[in-house]
């Protein structure tokens, strides 16, 4: 198929490359010239495992091209909308200006029979409104909503082998046509038996935000239990293992620690609450306010625990911060709990020396006042305390004895519950963690 992907960020760039890999003829469009130049040269503009290799392969086939000009979309059959829907400044609601601008501009160039496919995470009701806009510009065009469930760090795998496909479709012949187009785009995944839920616009939009709200709730649930564990001396990691054996509960997404961040979970639960309020259903989602609050409390708790392992004062203490990205295998620092804690530690008087395998350039732009070191030993050298805030593989593998040789004070905060407390204590460390004795 001949398809465009409008918006080439974490979602769109991966989608474009994967679609080309699957054999489609793909044009990626973005307003950011630097991003398009990088992608056209086969370079990923952000860190995502497997993406550079995929870009190189796809570009070599000649099936993947990039442009900043929406007019180039005119003779394509299907158009994916993958632009961002960030949180509005000072409000919980999602900012739809990029989606609106993309669809408005695209609509001017649609050929008869084209299908517009929304992927961005939007408040329920958006697809129906945009469908009218598309129809007004090109009556024989259709709009479908096809939410995306990829995880950063696994984006290529999740796009090539999704665990389910969801189509939000219009009624009647338009819906049949839009479904045929989507089925053709996803021939390979459907052939592999990927489950498909074909439904209406509103259900498709709600599936996406409900999934993220559930995941956020699961994380905040275990973090709330971690608070109780801290008050009683219980161990939340053992507790999570034990309840996770119940297959109705499951162990995944029950890792207590610094909590969730990133460009999706935090802003999606806030936008969901805001939208429910507009619909008169705000009571239904008030629990998400608590989910958000529990999550943010973990960050201040991490700062307090760091102060505790430093004998009650951060002032003038050298703190090595390991990890800045919102999660491992990503350079994304949007709403990153790690970066937030690093900033708070510095603001409260500590001298922060931060490191991360991939996120330093992004972190430096947001917090130029922090000191950054490329290598872990350089960041740790002479530290009064080490705080592990993003569980990159190399931090999980730190050796307590060797690390102890580098520091000034053997105090460690395990903000992600990934180290072995017994091994660190045996090597003479003062070890603290969130939700563990
Ligand atoms: C999330 C969802 O997992 C994807 O399904 C969804 O498609 C995506 O948002 C999106 O809406 O685009 P992502 O933001 O890449 O994906 O990251 P997650 O793997 O969900 O992690 C989110 C945060 O939760 C991270 O900060 C992570 O450290 C934290 N987390 C995760 C925990 O604190 N504990 C856990 O047990 C799991």
pLDDT per position as a tens digit, 95-153:
999 999 999 999 999 999 999 999 999 999 999 999 999 999 999 999 999 999 999 99
Predicted TM-score (pTM) of the model is 0.97
Query: Closest residue (by CA) to atom 11 of ligand 1?
Result: 264
Domain spans of the chain, in order of start: 2-199, 200-437
CA-proximal residue: ligand 1, atom 2 (nearest): 151
Strand, helix or coil at 347? helix
Ligand 1 centre and the CA of 59: distance in Å?
30
* Separation of CA 266 and ligand 1 centre (Å): 10
pLDDT score of 257 more than 90: yes
Q: Residue 104, Cβ neighbours under 10 Å: how many?
A: 14
For 159-191, how does the pLDDT look when each residue is reduced to its tens digit (9 = 90+)? 999 999 999 999 999 999 999 999 999 999 999
Domains 2-199 and 200-437 fall in the same CATH topology: yes
Which positions are catalytic?
Answer: 264
**What's the 419 CA to ligand 1 centre distance in angstroms?**
21
- 249 has a pLDDT exceeding 90: yes
Q: Which of 155, 327, 335 to mutate to test the pocket of ligand 1 (most atoms within 8 A of CB)?
A: 327
C-alpha–C-alpha distance, residues 187 and 171, integer Å:
22
Pocket of ligand 1 (CB under 6 A): 121, 148-152, 212, 215, 219, 253-255, 257, 259-262, 264-265, 326-327
Contacts of 26 (CB under 8 A, 6+ apart): 3, 4, 5, 16, 17, 19, 20, 58, 63, 64, 65
The model's pLDDT over 291-345, given as tens digits with 9 standing for 90+, comes to: 999 999 999 999 999 999 999 999 999 999 999 999 999 999 999 999 999 999 9
Residues 67-75, mean pLDDT to the nearest whole number: 98
**Residue 334 CA, ligand 1 centroid: distance in Å:** 12
CA 306 remoteness from chain centre: 26
pLDDT band of residue 59 (cuts 50, 70, 90) is confident
Let me know: does 7 contact 82? Beta carbons within 8 Å. Answer: yes
**Ligand 1 atom closest to Cα of residue 268:** 11
Pocket test for ligand 1, best of 152, 209, 434 (most atoms within 8 A of CB): 152
- Give the pLDDT score at 208: 98
Domain 2-199 CATH class label: alpha beta
Which residue's CA is the closest to the ligand 1 atom numbered 35? 253
425 Cα: distance to centroid of ligand 1 (angstroms): 31
Bin 304: left if φ > 0, else alpha if -120 < ψ < 50, else beta. Answer: alpha
Fold of the 200-437 domain:
Rossmann fold (3.40.50)
- pLDDT of 383-409, one tens digit each? 999 999 999 999 999 999 999 999 999
């Amino acid at each position: 198929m001949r398809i465009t992907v409008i918006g080439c960020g974490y979602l769109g760039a991966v989608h474009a490359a994967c679609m080309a890999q699957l054999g489609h003829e793909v044009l990626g469009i973005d307003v950011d010239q630097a991003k398009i130049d990088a992608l056209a040269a086969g370079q990923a503009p952000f860190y995502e495992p497997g993406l550079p290799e995929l870009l190189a392969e796809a570009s070599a086939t000649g099936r993947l091209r990039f442009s900043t000009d929406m007019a180039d979309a005119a003779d394509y059959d299907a158009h994916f909308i993958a632009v961002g829907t960030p949180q509005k400044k000072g409000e919980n609601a999602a900012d739809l200006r990029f989606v609106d601008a993309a669809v408005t501009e695209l609509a001017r160039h649609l050929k008869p029979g084209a299908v517009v496919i929304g992927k961005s995470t939007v408040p329920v009701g958006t697809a129906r409104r945009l469908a009218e806009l598309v129809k007004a510009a090109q009556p024989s065009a259709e709009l479908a909503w096809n939410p995306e469930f990829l995880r950063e760090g696994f984006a290529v795998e999740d796009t090539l082998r999704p665990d389910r496909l969801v189509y939000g479709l219009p009624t009647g012949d338009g819906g049949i046509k839009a479904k045929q187009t989507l089925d053709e785009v996803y021939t390979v995944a459907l052939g592999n038996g990927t489950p498909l839920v074909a439904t209406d616009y509103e259900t498709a939009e709600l599936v996406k935000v409900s999934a993220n709200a559930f995941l956020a709730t699961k994380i905040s649930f275990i973090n709330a239990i971690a608070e109780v564990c801290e008050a009683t001396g219980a161990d939340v990691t053992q507790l999570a293992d034990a309840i996770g054996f119940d297959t109705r509960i499951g162990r995944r997404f029950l890792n207590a620690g610094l909590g969730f961040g990133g460009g999706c979970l935090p802003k999606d639960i806030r936008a969901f609450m805001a939208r429910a309020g507009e619909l008169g259903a705000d009571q239904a989602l008030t629990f998400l306010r608590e989910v958000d609050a529990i999550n943010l409390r973990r960050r201040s708790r991490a700062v307090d625990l760091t102060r505790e392992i430093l004998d009650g004062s951060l002032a003038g203490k050298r703190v090595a911060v390991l990890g800045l990205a919102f999660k491992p295998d990503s350079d994304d620092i949007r709403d990153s709990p790690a970066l937030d804690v690093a900033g708070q530690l510095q603001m409260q008087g500590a001298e922060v020396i931060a490191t991360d395998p991939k996120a330093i350039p992004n972190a430096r732009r947001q917090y130029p006042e922090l000191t950054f070191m490329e290598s872990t030993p350089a960041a740790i050298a002479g530290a009064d305390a080490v705080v592990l805030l993003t569980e990159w593989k190399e931090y999980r593998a730190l050796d307590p004895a060797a690390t102890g040789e580098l520091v000034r004070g053997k105090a460690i905060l395990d903000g992600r519950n990934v180290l072995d407390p017994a091994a660190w204590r045996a090597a003479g460390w003062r070890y603290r963690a969130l939700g563990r004795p």
